[in-house]
Amino acid sequence: MHPSLMKSIPVAVPSAGKFTRDLFWQAIPAWRDVSENTFCDSIWQEQNAIHNSFTLKKIVGDLVSRDFIEDVEAGLLRAPMAVRLSPYLVGLINWSNPYDDPLRRQFLPVGSALEPDHPFVTLDPVNELGDSPTPGLTHRYHDRALFLVTDVCPVYCRFCTRSYAVGTDTPGVTKVSLGVNDNRWEAALRYITERVELEDIIVSGGDVYRLRPEHIQTIGNRLLNIDHVRRIRFATKGPAVQPMKILTDTAWTNALSSVVESGRKLRKEVSVHTHFNHPREITGITEDAMHLLFDRGVIVRNLSVIMRGVNDDVATHSKLVRCLTHLNIRPYYAYISDLVSGIEDLRTSVADTLMLEKWVRGSISGHNTPTFVLDAPGGGGKRDIHSYEHYDRETGISVYSAPSVKPGALFMYGDPLRTLAPEIRQAWTDPVQRSEMIRVAIEAAGGMKRSATTNNTAECKHQPGVQNH
């Protein structure tokens, strides 16, 4: 358990108008002379994004050692996600101590910190491909669908649940192509139009930040013109990693605002769902961008991912929530990390997540408290972290059901192996003992079920969704 998790620590957050407004990026050697106007230009941010360790070394110079760069290179060779860092993020990372920096941990793997994947890890951990009636559209819940309109982002997160598709190919993963494509979009929109039960559409990817303004308007208005669609959510990590786009790419922001206003006239909600994980991601630039969206009547909600050494202690997570509320961003979900390859060093256990939730709840008003959830492996959807059918803290197996999503199925999650006793970690390496631990867990959760199925994807080791007989 994180050493500060159990401490009740008063949380100090910047008051309105007090988020950092210094020229923080000028601490980077290559950007010492970059003015505020230049740095806050969204085109400059795109043109100066970092895509590899060579460029990183060139930009940060002697702030990091050669050994650190080599450690990053070793991490990237094993990572399912390519690297892409916005200059905004690079400027916020503490390069004097990059190993412990919570922003670096989210985006740059280092080989020395990587741990063996849990046997439950799959390339598509929540089975989005399996629940897709047409490419790039996931229809899992009765009245909601996920529309993946692109496969690129302003940055690439190590922990991305869509490592099967997002970004460029890596040494270990050839990506499913979900790029901008009119024919694919038309097929998805036709499906949504034909399924009258669909009221809520999440437009994601990739990231809608990377769509052109006309794409935002086309997709938004097409969806608004479908009578039974009542809500649209545009999903983007952009405000956390490139907030200046909202301020300086006026065509994009105007397109989003136009769709929001069109929805309001139809009495339909159009909102933005974003993704802040740490208070240091929030600056005065963020504040200005969020105030602009607030002034235009745009509802913004946040979905964070709980990560070891990033936001898994009470003080940091509480401060994150409070900072968000100061910007009128509504905390929505706090996810336990999905079973993604290459992030075992970032994952937390269900037990620690339960304790974190216990301390955060009550520290701020209920409507500003996120719901702590697990996205059930194998396609069970989001489940309250407390709602397991069975949780064995010794083996680390938790079992969830989703009767309104997939009746008669059980879904298993595995705690990080490092959190388990040595003899249990050893047992996970033995297929016979592993099968027995799984059998005991699913029997304890509700009787005998057939053994878990194996995903057809070669990279996937195990599909932890178990159907009831």
Residue 141 is a catalytic residue: yes
> Which residue in 300, 297, 177 sits closest to 238, CA to CA?
300
**Rounded distance, CA 459 to CA 257, Å?**
41
End-to-end CA distance of the chain: 37
Given the residues 40, 160, 323, 460, the one annotated as active site: 160
Contact predicate 279/319, CB 8 Å: yes
3-class secondary-structure state, position 144: strand
Q: Which member of 41, 105, 157, 184 is catalytic?
A: 157
Q: Is 312 a catalytic residue?
A: no
Tokens linked to 225: 């013109």
Catalytic annotation on 439?
no
Catalytic residue among 141, 191, 195, 230: 141
Is 323 part of the annotated catalytic residue set?
no
Catalytic site residue from 104, 105, 162, 308? 162
Task: Return all residues near 366 (Cβ < 8 A) that are at least 6 apart.
Answer: none
Q: Is 388 among the catalytic positions?
A: no
245 is known as an active-site residue: no
Q: Please choose, from the candidates 137, 135, 125, 206, the residue with its C-alpha nearest in 3D space to the C-alpha of residue 168.
A: 206
Q: Which of 445, 361, 357 is nearest to 397 (CA)?
A: 445
Catalytic residue among 40, 153, 323, 460: 153
Nearest C-alpha neighbor of 138 from the set 193, 205, 237, 194 = 205
How far, in Å, CA of 253 to CA of 257, rounded? 6
CB 135, CB 150: distance < 8 Å: no
Catalytic one among 71, 124, 151, 375? 375
| Active-site pick, 338, 345, 352, 415 | 338
160 belongs to the catalytic site: yes
Instruction: Tell me, yes or no, if 267 is annotated catalytic.
Output: no
- From 57, 84, 319, 382, active-site residue: 382
Burial 136-167 (b: 16+ CB within 10 A, else e): bbbbbbeebbbbbbbbbbbbbbbbbbbbbbbb
Residue 382 is a catalytic residue: yes
393 as an active site residue: the answer is: no
| Locus of tokens 């009636």 | 133
Which of 144, 296, 358, 439 is catalytic? The answer is 144
Q: List active site positions.
A: 140-141, 144, 153, 157, 160, 162, 338, 375, 382
